[in-house]
Amino acid sequence: MAEGISPHSGGTVPDLHRLPSSARLGCDRDGTTGVRSFAMTRTRLSLWLPVVLWAGLIFALSAIPNLSSGLGVWDLVLRKCAHLTEYAILGGLLFRALRREPAALLLGSAYAVTDELHQAFVGGRHASPIDWLIDAFGVAAGVVLLARSGALARLGR
């Protein structure tokens, strides 16, 4: 009969009382019943939930057919500043989650490409390489500002 198998079950049921308590209870190796796993999941969630929510807001704004305010040239300037600002925030959030500048830049710029593609399918909107460049510059600005400010170090990250 195999070790750890109960002879009373005809050799098919594990003899749970012979297993270490961590294996019986689904504990981590240190016997903490998943406390460390839960803390890691909570930390990841606190890092990535703001990124996902902000990306969702960008997506929702991109789905609005016409954002014209009727202010002429100011309308154009304000919309481009909005692109820069929303992607600077995304860049900062990505850097906060990833802690690596190149990865945050790449992921933010890739999301900007998908945003421009999304706008190509929204009536009254269009995909623009210039907007993508503005978005990518915004991502870079957000990453650099957060990385160079030392704000994450002050937050204990």
Q: 122 with 149, same domain?
A: yes
136 vs 44, higher pLDDT: 136
Q: 69 with 117, same domain?
A: yes
In a domain, 51, yes or no: yes
Q: Summarize the confidence of residues 51-68 as an average pLDDT.
A: 90
- Contact yes or no for 85/138 (Cβ under 8 A): yes
Per-residue pLDDT reduced to its tens digit, 79-129:
889 999 999 999 999 999 999 999 999 999 999 999 999 999 998 888 999
Burial class (CB in 10 A: 0-12, 13-18, 19+), 82: middle
Q: 128 with 60, same domain?
A: yes
In a domain, 41, yes or no: no
Comparing 29-33, 63-67, 132-136, the range with the smallest average pLDDT is: 29-33
Comparing 6-15, 34-43, 73-82, 98-107, the range with the smallest average pLDDT is: 6-15
In a domain, 99, yes or no: yes
Q: 62 with 125, same domain?
A: yes
SS3 state of residue 81: helix
- With a pLDDT cut of 90, the percent of the chain lying above it is 50
Q: 16 with 53, same domain?
A: no
In a domain, 10, yes or no: yes
Mean pLDDT of the residues in the chain:
82
Verdict on whether the full-model pTM lies above 0.75? no
pLDDT at 76: 81
Q: 28 with 57, same domain?
A: no
Q: 29 with 50, same domain?
A: no
What residues are paired with 5 via a beta bridge?
14
HSE, CB side, 13 Å, CA atoms: give it for residue 58. 27
Q: 13 with 50, same domain?
A: no
In terms of residue numbers, what domain contains 3? Answer: 1-33
SS3 state of residue 77: helix
In a domain, 38, yes or no: no
Total tally of structural domains belonging to the chain: 2
Give every CB contact of residue 115 below 8 A, 6+ residues apart in sequence. 58, 59, 62, 135
Structure tokens at 156: 């204990």
